Amino acid sequence: MLCFTGDGGFWYHLSEMETAVRNGIKTITVINNNYCLSQCSVGVDKTYGKREGNKGEMFRFRGANFAKIAQELGCLGIRVEHPKEIAGVLRTALEGDKPAVIDVVTDETCKPEWEPAY
């Protein structure tokens, strides 16, 4: 099973990796790790407009290395910091025999091109 998720979504389901290890379920989770709920940033910008305050605190996270967290849970954990690494890392995960987390570091400024319905 292959899952592609953002870091915000992965925070909600991190414990599922322990379940996968314990039950021998081979999953591959690829995380778009941009340290924020980027999809929410558009809505927050629209809602708060020019009001004072730090809007970013509503959708930004402290940096986390999900590959290291995955390793602590017994998974294969690999961190990707350069796009050219992705193909080889996916191959490694597919050939492995345990759940894998591929933590792909991306840029917060890559916002969705679509307009969410808020």
Tell me which residue range forms the domain holding 99. 2-105
| Residue in the structure block whose two tokens are 């602590």 | 72
Residue pLDDT, tens place only, 29-61: 999 888 766 666 666 677 777 878 766 565 566
Answer whether residue 15 is part of any domain: yes
What average pLDDT is seen over the chain?
A: 84
Distance CA 103, CA 81 (A): 8
Answer whether residue 117 is part of any domain: no
Specify the pLDDT at position 113.
52
Specify the pLDDT at position 116.
46
Query: Which pTM value belongs to this model?
Result: 0.78
Number of domains in the chain: 1
Answer whether residue 6 is part of any domain: yes
Answer whether residue 49 is part of any domain: yes
pLDDT at 110 over 60: no
Specify the pLDDT at position 60.
65
Residue 74's CATH number:
3.40.50.970
Distance CA 57, CA 75 (A): 31
What is the DSSP code (8-state) at residue 101? Answer: E
Specify the pLDDT at position 44.
67
pLDDT at 95 over 50: yes
pLDDT at 14 over 50: yes
